[in-house]
């Protein structure tokens, strides 16, 4: 298992394992969760040079008596977009490490949609040398579909050189399942690029079934994180995919997928958050939160832990991760018991980095060359927005409305009389990368605003400026507040900006401490609630996904409303 070490280091590990010399660190009186057999094994855990060397009776240069607490492998999030936390990688690390996360596999397609290759390089640079392993899957769909107006376009040639990076594990979610199953030439080249380097290809194909699913998997797509019902997940498992069970801020799919925690299915399942706000990370938790929810729902702690550790390592080919066993990297967490699964200690490479919810290791923010990453740090290129820009120019007796579904990122379609305004808000997406002046307008129900407007530069995946409101004046005010901050969130009502959060890193992230972000975000969410946004609808995360044209059924882009199934624009007013 051990790799990339010298002969002398390997000899030292072997000597420590045999007990001939003291280990660097020994966790005394441990109960070890064995992810291979499901047993709890009592003994000491010995660590030398950052690797676990043995379980049994050992002496160490440093010894920590954990008094019968349970030692588990450190947790791995198999699919996340760090940008969605609104924190730069260093601050993100500070938020998740105390919850037992030792590694994440991120898809930087949010920042890539803003700044292309420079955006990916920025994330690689700003996530190195952290006490958190940040692995990467390369964005496969920038833009998500040809209908999008992103800040960049990444073809197969643009991605090829990134495979030389050790932390790049493959090709990220193939969101354009429509193009994949129809043999789109550029998608095929991206698939072949990943395959030629022996890397994984992740999927993103909500509701895909039957022959189309067969075609998608035959193309080489090995996983899916978009299952929202058990039957969908079971079909994909039967066809050989790994299923990533997602529980994030907006998309909360855990409950309907709980049967996947059973013995029959769990060996091919992983745990992910996909998109999760900073506040949820620090208040609820990360992967530990999913494990706790599953255990409280009556699912096996062993199966739950396995899905967040050894399964993830196996899927991504991380052969020295995911277990508390000899030869594995000493990434471990200590929990008092498996029923409550509260993380008391976190060890990274055999070093204590968090205890009782507090970091004990320094997390250094990497120095960033502003000139090199100018496109990331100054990403707004658009003119001031006037209220009249939101006028719907066409007429008709019927109105097509995007219907939001609480707890889901799927949407539905409603056709109502054009004069109907009950629980219907106006929504618009404004192009902000190249100052084209394109503005798509439409209508949405279920968001719940009774007055005012909410705007955000987080609008998956092209991250143009999205705004929803009850009147054009407040919509323009909120949108311009985001523009002036070079990205972020804003709420306006009755001609005043009630709150804003600046996100100047690509219009997606900032360098504020995660607690500061949470304080501002919580206040803004409360303002949104007071303006009518109901519980079950995250005012910002839900809004962000209404612009993602790869998830059924209706979405809104810079040129209008899109039917995802046909990948075509549809009128919002018609007869």
Q: Give the helix/strand (H/E) hosting 152.
A: none
Do 420 and 542 belong to one domain?
A: yes
User: How high does pLDDT run on average in the chain?
Assistant: 94
Among 319, 350, 366, identify where a domain stops: 319
Residues 189-210, mean pLDDT to the nearest whole number: 95
Q: Residue 11: its pLDDT value, please?
A: 93
Residue 367 has a pLDDT of 84
Element of type H or E holding 317: none
- What tokens does 448 get? 């719940």
pLDDT-derived band at 145 (thresholds 50, 70, 90) equals confident
Does residue 407 carry a pLDDT above 80?
Answer: no
- At 2 the pLDDT is 65
193 and 276 inside one domain: yes
Residue 93 vs residues 87, 342, 454, 456, 552: alpha-carbon distances, Å: 9, 18, 29, 24, 32
Let me know if residue 289 belongs to a domain: yes
Is the per-residue pLDDT at 1 higher than 60? no
Same structural domain, 203 and 283? yes
CATH code: domain of residue 241: 3.20.20.140
> Does any domain span residue 120?
yes
In this structure, what DSSP letter does residue 15 have? Answer: H
Does one domain contain both 289 and 387?
Answer: no
**E strand or H helix at 198, and its extent?**
none
> Can you tell me the distance from the alpha carbon of 98 to that of 363, in angstroms, rounded to the nearest whole number?
12
Structural domain ending residue among the three candidates 276, 303, 319: 319
pLDDT at 250 over 80: no
Residues 149 and 222 in one domain: yes
Question: Would residue 11 count as lying in a domain?
Answer: no
pLDDT band of 195, cuts 50, 70, 90: very high
Confidence at residue 346, expressed as pLDDT on a 0 to 100 scale? 98
307 domain-assigned: yes
> Is residue 355 situated within a structural domain?
no
Q: What would the pLDDT profile of 15-63 be if each residue is shown by its tens digit?
A: 999 999 999 999 999 999 999 999 999 999 999 999 999 999 999 999 9
Indicate whether 549 and 419 sit together in one domain. yes
Does the structure show a pLDDT above 80 at 79?
yes
Which two structure tokens, joined as six digits, stand for 47?
A: 């660590």
- 506 assigned to some structural domain: yes
Which residue is listed with tokens 């003119």? 383
Q: What is the 3-state secondary structure (H, E, C) of 345-389?
A: EEEECCEEEEECCEECCCCCCCCCCCCCCHHHHCCCCCCCCCHHH
CB neighbours of 457 closer than 8 A, spacing ≥ 6?
A: 380, 432, 463, 464, 465, 466, 482, 487, 488, 489, 503, 507, 508
Do 312 and 422 reside in the same domain of the chain? Answer: no
What range defines the domain where residue 155 resides? 73-319
pTM of the model: 0.90
Contact by Cβ (8 Å): 344, 335: yes
- Residue 241's alpha-carbon distances to 136, 201, 232, 452, in angstroms, are 20, 11, 11, 44
Q: Please, are residues 215 and 235 in contact by the beta-carbon 8 Å criterion?
A: no
Counted domains in the chain: 2
Domain shared by 313 and 393, yes or no: no
In a domain, 54, yes or no: no
User: 407 or 73: which carries more pLDDT confidence?
Assistant: 73
On the 0-12 / 13-18 / 19+ scale of CB atoms within 10 A, 499 is buried
Given the structure tokens 């907006």, which residue do they identify?
250
* 303 and 396 fall within a common domain: no
Task: Judge whether 475 and 435 are in contact, CB under 8 Å.
Answer: no
Mean pLDDT over residues 345-362, rounded? Answer: 96
In a domain, 538, yes or no: yes
Asked whether residue 287 falls in the same domain as residue 382, the answer is no
Q: What is the mean pLDDT of residues 418-429?
A: 94
């Amino acid at each position: 298992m051990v790799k990339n070490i010298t002969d002398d280091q390997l000899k030292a590990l072997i000597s420590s394992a045999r007990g001939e010399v003291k280990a660097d660190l020994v966790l005394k009186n441990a109960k070890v969760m064995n992810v291979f057999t499901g047993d709890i094994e009592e003994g000491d855990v010995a660590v030398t040079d950052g690797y676990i060397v043995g379980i049994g009776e050992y002496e160490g240069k440093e010894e920590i008596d954990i008094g019968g607490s349970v030692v588990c492998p450190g947790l791995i999030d198999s699919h996340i977009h760090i940008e969605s936390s609104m924190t730069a990688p260093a601050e993100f690390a500070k938020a998740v490490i105390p919850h037992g996360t030792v590694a994440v596999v991120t898809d930087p397609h949010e920042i890539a949609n803003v700044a292309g290759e420079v955006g990916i390089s920025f994330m690689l640079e700003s996530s190195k040398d952290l006490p958190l392993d940040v692995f990467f899957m390369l964005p496969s769909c920038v833009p998500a579909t040809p209908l999008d107006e992103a800040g960049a376009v990444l073809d197969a040639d643009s991605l090829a050189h990134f495979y030389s990076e050790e932390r790049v594990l493959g090709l990220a979610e193939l969101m354009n399942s429509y193009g994949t199953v129809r043999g789109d030439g550029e998608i095929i080249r991206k698939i072949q690029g990943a395959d030629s380097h022996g890397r994984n290809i992740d999927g993103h194909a909500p509701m895909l079934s039957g022959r189309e699913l067969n075609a998608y998997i035959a193309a080489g797509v090995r996983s899916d994180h978009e299952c929202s019902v058990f039957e969908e997940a079971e079909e994909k498992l039967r066809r050989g995919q790994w299923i990533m069970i997602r529980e994030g801020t907006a998309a909360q799919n855990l409950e309907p997928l709980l049967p996947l925690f059973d013995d029959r299915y769990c060996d091919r399942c992983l745990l992910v958050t996909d998109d999760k706000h900073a506040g949820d990370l620090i208040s609820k938790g990360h992967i530990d939160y999913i494990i706790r929810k599953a255990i409280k729902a009556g699912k096996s702690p062993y199966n739950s832990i396995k899905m967040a550790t050894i399964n993830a390592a196996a899927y991504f080919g991380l052969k020295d991760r995911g277990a508390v066993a000899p030869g594995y990297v000493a990434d471990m967490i200590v929990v008092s018991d498996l029923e409550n699964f509260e993380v008391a200690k976190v060890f990274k490479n055999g070093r204590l980095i968090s205890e009782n919810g507090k970091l004990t290791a320094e997390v250094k923010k990497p120095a960033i060359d502003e000139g090199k990453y100018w496109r990331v740090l100054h990403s707004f290129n658009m003119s001031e927005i006037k209220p009249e820009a939101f006028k719907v120019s066409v007429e008709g007796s019927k109105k097509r409305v995007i219907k939001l579904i609480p707890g889901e990122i799927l949407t539905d379609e409603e056709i109502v009389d054009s004069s109907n305004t009950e629980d219907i808000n106006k929504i618009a997406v404004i192009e902000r990368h190249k100052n084209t002046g394109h503005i798509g307008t439409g209508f949405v129900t279920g968001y719940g605003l009774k007055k005012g407007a909410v705007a955000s530069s987080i609008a998956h995946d092209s991250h143009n400026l999205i705004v929803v409101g009850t009147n054009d004046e407040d919509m323009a005010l909120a949108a311009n507040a985001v523009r002036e901050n070079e990205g972020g969130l804003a709420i306006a009502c009755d001609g005043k900006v009630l709150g804003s959060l600046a996100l100047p890193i690509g219009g997606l992230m900032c360098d504020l401490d995660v607690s500061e972000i949470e304080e501002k975000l919580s206040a803004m969410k409360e303002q949104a609630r007071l303006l009518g946004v109901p519980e079950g609808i995250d005012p910002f995360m839900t809004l962000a996904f209404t612009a993602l044209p790869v998830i059924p059924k209706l979405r809104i882009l810079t040129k209008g409303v899109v039917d995802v199934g046909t990948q075509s624009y549809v009128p919002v007013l018609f007869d």
